């Protein structure tokens, strides 16, 4: 009995270490950022200024950059992810399904710095030449496209993020889709529906799972640092169109951190940005997990 | 008379459900003692209460006493691993460790419990156990092969050998032939009749005919209550309880 | 709707779905092709060992210090993060009915998708600031923290998938809990556990953000000690790719080819192992 108790204690020590680390992370964000919140209050989040000399900081452009690039990413990624999931689950011949899933999993495990490198030197020029410049030339009167594009901007970041998060959300959707009880599929077919109509029906059945997948993917897109930092332009301006260069909160931290020790309030500003990012990401991830749990227990 | 095991006022709950209700009985040494009853009556739970395998289930609660040689295994300061070593257990679905060879399956228990001093002793122990389980001749040239390649009946005999290797006093069997074909089943039943010379065997069965065939004593468990207990011949020919009669005549689940 | 029209729509939609699906898979092939076509030409034994070249002029150069750094950091991260993750995962599996397990699992699932730059900020606070310089240990700790959730959740799955009857068989032999879990059942779960560790390995080798704020990325020493700055392949790629020097861009591509090869190798190995389990 003793050895069992000791073993249990031993395990609990490790579990507690995991929990302590997580608590420590959140705590470190708070205690390293309170100075800026103390001084500026919540206006810190909504100010558009980054002036180290005057020690005046505001993360609004970065926050907007995070939201815009993630929004672009999700709108591109969701149709792709759903298509990939359906293609793998329904359309592709069974023999290559394993291959497709492996490719998808490989994409999900690729280091983000490789995505960033490729994004910077391959994707950005291509997007600039074939998509951004034409859009600017012909549709530049629309506010979204009204900036003369430079290859590294919010749009490129959004597209790169889309590429990165598609496999992840795709595998979630695919798993839930495959778990749909077979008799529901049979019922749909027996009503004389075409393949597409059956798929559409089943997709409606797993709406919550798709929503959950979107939330989780959004969380990931918002937190991605390195790949974004390499293609987003890293300019502190308030974005007015999709083609503006910009910052995201995480790329701001990555970029400005080397300077931070020289100033009094920059470090707290960066930790403050991290705290905001953490809170937003937490809410989104919890929402996603909540929806997933609902889907799993219902189905 | 000394008893192999004594159960006194045993009660088991799963959460709020009262599974074993105030069961008491005594099992003599070197007999085959059958516990029979319809599905869901608590037989498997009762068996697992005896070697404290029930402890693995976090929702199970046990009250009462189970005594081996006068020692209450649920008392304070009792080493649960010692308790489990007094028993060998065979399960309903043969469960040899699939990632181990035939030899390793039998050798694992003695090795981890430090029962032998060197390899040749271990080899001898494994051989004896496999012989006792009537499996030696069939596998003696394939000892290093994985256990998963044996047939169902052979796997079950391997599990019996695994249990015997620990030199237990009591062998617990949870419906050991439920998933075997009739030929394999009867081989195991013959084996039991031989084993009782050296061991006490407590066998749970959902098949009253099997209880009638192999056991010396039988207990009839119904909805967690001990309805009747006695010598097999008596219980089957002159049951004293109407429920027992219905069960042995096959008129009950 | 007339049947013909429905059939047309059916064909159309299936076609669109297929096109989108294939489109989403194109980038990975493009990346692999581009990385190797741009970078493989620079990779040689010297490339793996030498110091980086100066920004302009000078000879070929290599990623020696970064490679050593990655090896050191990954080994440490696996040792620390792997053990914490393993025992946490074991607890989550075998004591899943406790509230501690339920809360911890929920937190770990959130941590998996955590912005890794925040982990870097934490490591900076507890290890870089006190020592007043960037150091390898901070990077290793940051990487460990990143991989703990992956390893814990996968180890949990590995142990959860052991049939209950095997667990009963193991305990019925009268062995103590540590021996049952760590000798008998670990052996039964070894493929899943190994996969978990491989995932951790791949993550530790490829993550950049945790290193940005912790190790500095010094390019000239191979290994100066755990309390000194160090480099790592992903960080080198990041720094060199963003530099204005063509020479360093080439080194970045070469390093990317090396890193991609490592990741592919790990991926293939873990796929092969999982395939065996399924049979």
- What pLDDT is recorded for position B68? 92
d(CA A103, CA C26): 10
Q: Per residue, what are the HEC states of chain C? A: CCHHHHHHHHHHHHHHHHHHHHHHHHHHHHHHHHHHHHHHHHCCHHHHHCCCCCCCCCCCCCCHHHHHHHHHHHHHHHHHHHHHHHHHHHHHHHCCCCHHHHHHHHHHHHHHCCCHHHHHHHHHHHHHHHHCCCCHHHHHHHHHHHHHHHHHHHHHHHHHCCCHHHHHHHHHCCCCHHHHHHHHHHHHCHHHHHHHHHHHHHHHHHCCHHHHCCCECCCCCCCCCCCCCECCHHHHHHHHHHCCCHHHHHHHHHHHHHHHHHHHHHHHHHHHHHHHHHC
> In Å, what is the CA distance from B125 to each residue of B120, B216, C180, C184?
9, 29, 21, 20
What's B62's DSSP letter? E
**Cβ neighbours for A105, distance < 8 A, ≥ 6 positions apart:** A167, A171, C267
Closest in C165, C174, C188 to B84, CB measured: C174
**Cβ neighbours for B239, distance < 8 A, ≥ 6 positions apart:** B228, B245, B248
- Asked if B53 lies within 8 A of C168 by C-beta distance, the reply is yes
The SS3 call for residue B47 is helix
The SS3 call for residue B217 is strand
Q: A186 in contact with C at a CB cutoff of 8 Å?
A: no
Residue carrying structure tokens 């709707």: C1
Question: C202: how many CB neighbours lie within 10 A of its CB?
Answer: 24
Average pLDDT of chain C, as a whole number = 89
Q: A5 in contact with B at a CB cutoff of 8 Å?
A: no
The CA-based angle C263-C266-C268, given to 5 degrees, is 105
What is the C-alpha R_g of chain B? 18
Residue carrying structure tokens 């990143």: C146
- Asked whether the CA dihedral C72, C75, C80, C81 is positive or negative, the reply is positive
Chains in touch with C (≥3 Cβ pairs < 8 A): A, B
Residue C73 has which token pair?
């950091």
- Asked if A18 lies within 8 A of C121 by C-beta distance, the reply is no
CA-based nearest distance B9→chain A, Å? 23
Residues A125, A151 contacting (CB under 8 angstroms): yes
Closest in B81, B91, B99 to C169, CB measured: B91
Q: What element of type H or E holds B188?
A: helix B182-195
| Burial classification of residue C219, based on how many CB atoms lie within 10 Å of its CB (0-12 exposed, 13-18 middle, 19 or more buried) | buried
> Between A and C, how many residue pairs show a Cβ–Cβ distance under 8 A?
235
Q: How confident is the model at residue C111 (pLDDT cuts 50, 70, 90)?
A: confident
C214 pLDDT above the threshold of 50: yes
Q: How confident is the model at residue A263 (pLDDT cuts 50, 70, 90)?
A: confident
**Residue among C226, C233, C23 at smallest CA distance from C137:** C226
Phi, psi of B215 (to 5 degrees): -95, 155
d(CA B2, CA B90): 25
The SS3 call for residue A236 is coil
> In Å, what is the CA distance from C140 to each residue of A109, C75, C135, C137?
20, 9, 9, 5
d(CA C167, CA C152): 20
Q: What is the pTM of this model?
A: 0.88
- What pLDDT is recorded for position B1? 64
Q: How confident is the model at residue A139 (pLDDT cuts 50, 70, 90)?
A: confident
Residues C176, B80 contacting (CB under 8 angstroms): no
Q: What element of type H or E holds B163?
A: helix B152-164
What secondary structure does DSSP assign to A135-156, as a single string? HHHHHTTSGGG-S---SSSHHH
Mutate to test the interface with A, among C99, C118, C156, C237 (most CBs of A within 10 A): C118
- Asked whether the CA dihedral B199, B204, B209, B211 is positive or negative, the reply is positive
Beta bridge partner(s), residue B17: B14
User: What's the average model confidence in pLDDT over A269-273?
Assistant: 91
Residues A62, A49 contacting (CB under 8 angstroms): no
Residues C174, B163 contacting (CB under 8 angstroms): no
User: What's the average model confidence in pLDDT over C99-104?
Assistant: 92
C240 pLDDT above the threshold of 80: yes
d(CA A64, CA A26): 23
CA-based nearest distance C36→chain B, Å? 40
* pLDDT over 70 percentage in chain A: 98
**Cβ neighbours for B206, distance < 8 A, ≥ 6 positions apart:** B36, B37, B38, B39, B43, B175, B178
Q: Which chain A residues contact residue B81 at CB under 8 A?
A: 3
- A195-204 long-range contacts (CB < 8 A, ≥24 apart) are A195/A90, A195/C10, A195/C14, A196/C9, A196/C10, A196/C13, A196/C14, A197/C6, A197/C10, A199/A86, A199/A90, A199/C13, A199/C17, A202/A177, A203/A82, A203/A86, A203/A177
A185 pLDDT above the threshold of 90: no
**Could you say which residues from 50 to 89 on chain A have a Cβ atom under 8 Å away from some Cβ of chain C?**
79-81, 83-84, 86-88
**Cβ neighbours for B88, distance < 8 A, ≥ 6 positions apart:** B160, B162, B163, B164, B166, B168, B170, B171, B172, B199, C172
Residues C64, C49 contacting (CB under 8 angstroms): yes
Residues C226, C73 contacting (CB under 8 angstroms): no
Beta bridge partner(s), residue B13: B18, B61
Phi, psi of B28 (to 5 degrees): -70, 170
d(CA A132, CA A188): 43
Ramachandran area for residue A295 (φ above 0: left; ψ -120 to 50: alpha; else beta):
alpha
- Asked whether the CA dihedral A179, A181, A184, A185 is positive or negative, the reply is positive
**Residue among A226, A17, A293 at smallest CA distance from C89:** A17
The CA-based angle C207-A229-C204, given to 5 degrees, is 0
ipTM: 0.91
- Asked whether the CA dihedral C240, C245, C250, C251 is positive or negative, the reply is negative
Give residue-wise pLDDT tens across range C148-179.
999 999 999 999 999 999 999 999 999 999 99
Ramachandran area for residue C58 (φ above 0: left; ψ -120 to 50: alpha; else beta):
left
CA-based nearest distance C93→chain B, Å? 13
Find the distance separating the first CA and the last CA of chain B, reported in whole Å: 36
- What pLDDT is recorded for position C55? 80
- What pLDDT is recorded for position C275? 63
Q: B149 in contact with A at a CB cutoff of 8 Å?
A: no
- Asked whether the CA dihedral C30, C35, C38, C44 is positive or negative, the reply is negative
Closest in C10, C104, C107 to A194, CB measured: C10
CA dihedral of A174, A175, A178, A181, whole degrees rounded to 10:
-130
- Asked if B113 lies within 8 A of C173 by C-beta distance, the reply is yes
Task: Give 10-residue mean pLDDT values along chain B (253 residues).
Answer: 90 94 94 91 92 91 92 90 92 91 93 88 93 92 90 93 93 93 92 92 92 94 92 91 87 65
d(CA A267, CA A259): 9
Give residue-wise pLDDT tens across range C172-203.
999 999 999 999 999 899 989 999 999 999 99
Mutate to test the interface with A, among B74, B79, B113 (most CBs of A within 10 A): B79
- Asked if B89 lies within 8 A of C169 by C-beta distance, the reply is yes
d(CA B6, CA C147): 52
């Amino acid at each position: 009995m003793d050895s069992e108790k000791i073993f249990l204690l031993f395990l609990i020590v490790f579990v507690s270490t995991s929990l302590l680390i997580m608590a420590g992370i959140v705590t470190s964000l708070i205690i390293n950022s309170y100075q800026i919140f103390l001084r500026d209050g919540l206006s810190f989040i909504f100010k558009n200024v980054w002036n180290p000399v005057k020690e005046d900081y505001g993360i609004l452009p970065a926050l907007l950059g995070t939201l815009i690039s993630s929004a672009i990413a999700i709108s591109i990624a969701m149709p792709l992810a759903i298509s990939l999931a359906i293609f793998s689950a329904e359309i592709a011949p069974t023999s290559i399904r394993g291959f497709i899933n492996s490719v998808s999993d490989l994409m999900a495990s690729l280091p983000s710095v490789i995505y960033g490198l490729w994004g910077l030197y391959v994707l950005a020029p291509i997007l600039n030449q074939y998509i951004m410049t034409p859009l600017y030339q012909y549709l530049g009167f629309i506010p979204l496209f009204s900036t003369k594009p430079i290859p590294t901007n919010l749009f490129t970041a959004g597209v790169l993020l889309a590429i990165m998060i598609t496999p992840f959300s795709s595998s979630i959707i695919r798993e839930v889709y495959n778990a749909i009880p077979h008799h529901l599929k049979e019922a749909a077919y027996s009503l004389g529906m075409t393949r597409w109509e059956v798929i559409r029906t089943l997709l409606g059945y797993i709406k919550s799972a798709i929503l959950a997948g979107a939330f989780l993917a959004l969380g990931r897109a918002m937190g991605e640092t390195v790949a974004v930092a390499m293609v987003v332009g890293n300019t502190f301006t308030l974005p007015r169109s999709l083609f503006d260069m910009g910052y995201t909160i995480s790329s701001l931290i990555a970029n400005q951190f080397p300077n931070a020790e020289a100033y009094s309030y920059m470090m707290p500003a960066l930790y403050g940005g991290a705290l905001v990012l953490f809170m937003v990401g937490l809410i989104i991830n919890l929402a996603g997990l909540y929806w997933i749990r609902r889907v799993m227990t219902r189905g | 008379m000394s008893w192999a095991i004594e159960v006194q006022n045993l009660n088991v709950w799963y959460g709020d459900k009262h599974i074993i209700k105030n069961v008491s009985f005594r099992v003599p040494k070197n007999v085959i003692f059958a516990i029979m009853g319809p599905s869901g009556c608590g037989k498997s739970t009762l068996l697992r209460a005896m070697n404290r395998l029930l402890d693995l289930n976090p929702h199970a609660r046990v009250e009462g006493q189970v005594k081996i040689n006068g020692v209450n295994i649920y008392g304070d300061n009792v080493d649960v691993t010692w308790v489990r070593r007094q028993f060998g257990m065979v399960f309903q679905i043969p469960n040899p460790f699939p990632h181990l060879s035939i030899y390793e399956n039998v050798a694992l228990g003695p090795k981890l419990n430090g029962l032998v001093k060197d390899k040749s002793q271990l080899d001898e122990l494994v051989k004896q156990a496999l012989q006792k389980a009537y499996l030696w001749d069939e596998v003696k040239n394939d000892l290093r092969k994985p256990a998963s390649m044996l047939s169902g009946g052979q796997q079950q005999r391997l599990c019996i050998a695994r249990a015997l290797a620990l030199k237990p006093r009591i062998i617990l069997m949870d419906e050991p032939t439920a998933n075997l074909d009739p030929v394999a089943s009867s081989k195991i039943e013959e084996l039991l009749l031989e084993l009782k010379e050296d061991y006490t065997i407590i066998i749970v069965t959902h098949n009253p005919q099997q209880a009638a065939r192999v056991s010396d004593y039988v207990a009839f468990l119904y909805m967690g209550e001990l309805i009747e207990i006695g010598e097999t011949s008596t219980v089957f020919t002159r049951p004293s309880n109407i429920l027992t009669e219905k069960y042995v005549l096959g008129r009950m689940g | 709707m007339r049947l013909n029209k429905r059939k047309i729509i059916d064909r159309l939609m299936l076609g669109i779905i297929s096109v989108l699906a294939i489109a989403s898979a194109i980038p990975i092939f493009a990346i692999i092709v581009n990385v190797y076509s741009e970078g493989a030409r620079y990779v040689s034994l010297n490339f793996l060992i030498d110091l980086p070249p100066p920004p302009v002029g000078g000879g070929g150069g290599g990623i020696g210090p970064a490679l050593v750094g990655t090896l050191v950091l990954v080994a440490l991260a696996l040792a620390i993060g792997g053990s914490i993750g393993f025992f946490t995962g074991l607890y989550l599996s075998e004591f899943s009915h406790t509230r501690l397990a339920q809360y911890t699992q929920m937190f770990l699932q959130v941590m998996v998708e955590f912005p890794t730059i925040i982990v870097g900020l934490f490591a900076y606070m507890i290890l870089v600031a006190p020592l007043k310089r960037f150091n390898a240990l901070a990077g290793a700790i940051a990487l460990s923290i990143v991989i703990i959730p992956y390893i814990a959740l996968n180890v949990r799955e590995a142990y959860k998938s052991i049939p209950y009857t095997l667990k009963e068989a193991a305990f019925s032999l009268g062995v103590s809990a540590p021996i049952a879990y760590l000798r008998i059942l670990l052996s039964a779960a070894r493929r899943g556990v190994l996969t978990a560790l491989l995932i951790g390995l791949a993550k530790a080798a490829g993550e950049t953000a945790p290193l940005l704020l912790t190790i500095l990325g010094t390019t000239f020493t191979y290994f100066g000690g755990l309390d000194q700055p160090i480099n790592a392949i992903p960080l080198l790629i990041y720094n060199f790719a963003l530099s204005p020097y063509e020479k360093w861009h080439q080194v970045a591509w070469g390093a990317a080819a090396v890193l991609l090869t490592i990741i592919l190798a790990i991926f293939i190995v873990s796929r092969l192992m999982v395939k065996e389990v399924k049979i």
